[in-house]
């Protein structure tokens, strides 16, 4: 059984490609779309025909999750083009830049937990995707902080989806090597 439609996927991915055009994955020369496609892939792997989850909601939020934070797209545009539910999900996944930096993740996690579990799935998939080898200029302290933040995400959202939670925990454990390697 298919719990999401290819047409919805195409619309959201095309919209994201347009919104993020010209942006690169930080520290690389690769298009930002790569990050979004990896997050979407993690979400698809977790859905695997699991009818308990709304695949349409999960995949649209996956493609659109950085539009409010990193592009000129507004909440109103997302609500109109997609739905208020999608706009609310993406909004929860967006850090509140008015808060002090150290508070932003905890605040976003609190808001994600007020949303359906599909929104938490996107956050888990996002951090799974981002736990790759850190840029060479990151200090050991920064790399360690990034790992600790990943643990905070894991503990806050692990009940939303067991498959993604297990995968995130494995990625956090593997990331220890990078923390050790950093100067």
Nearer to Ni ion, 8 or 37 (CB): 37
* Site string (69-108) toward Ni ion, x via CB under 5 A: ----------------------------------------
Contact (CB, 8 A) for 90 and 67: yes
**Residue 55, C-beta contacts closer than 8 angstroms, at least 6 positions apart:** 2, 3, 4, 47
Contact (CB, 8 A) for 111 and 89: no
Stretch that binds Ni ion, among 8-16, 65-73, 104-112, 161-169 (CB under 5 A): 65-73
- Host H or E run for residue 6: helix 6-19
Stretch that binds Ni ion, among 25-33, 108-116, 119-127, 152-160 (CB under 5 A): 119-127
- The tokens describing 5, both together, are 């439609």
Q: Is 126 in the site for Ni ion (CB under 5 A)?
A: yes
Dihedral over alpha carbons 110, 115, 174, 183 (to 10 degrees): -40
Nearer to Ni ion, 56 or 66 (CB): 66
Query: Least distance to Ni ion from the beta carbon of 33, Å?
Result: 12
Q: Which residues bind Ni ion (CB under 5 A)?
A: 66, 126
């Amino acid at each position: 059984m298919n719990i999401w439609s290819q047409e919805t996927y195409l619309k959201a991915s095309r919209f994201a490609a347009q919104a993020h055009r010209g942006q690169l994955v930080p520290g690389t020369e690769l298009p930002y779309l790569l990050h979004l496609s990896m997050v979407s892939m993690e979400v698809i792997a977790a859905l695997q025909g699991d009818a308990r989850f709304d695949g349409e909601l999960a995949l649209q939020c996956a493609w659109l999750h950085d539009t409010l934070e990193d592009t000129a797209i507004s909440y109103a545009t997302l609500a109109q083009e997609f739905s208020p539910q999608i706009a609310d999900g993406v909004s929860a996944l967006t850090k509140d830049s008015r808060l002090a930096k150290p508070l932003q993740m905890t605040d976003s996690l609190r808001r994600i937990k007020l949303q359906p579990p599909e929104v938490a799935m996107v956050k888990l998939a996002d951090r799974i995707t981002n736990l790759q080898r850190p840029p060479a200029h990151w200090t050991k302290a920064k790399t360690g902080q990034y790992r600790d933040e990943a643990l905070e995400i894991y503990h806050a959202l692990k009940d939303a989806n067991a498959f993604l939670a297990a995968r995130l925990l494995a990625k956090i454990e593997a990331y220890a090597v990078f923390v050790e390697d950093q100067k």
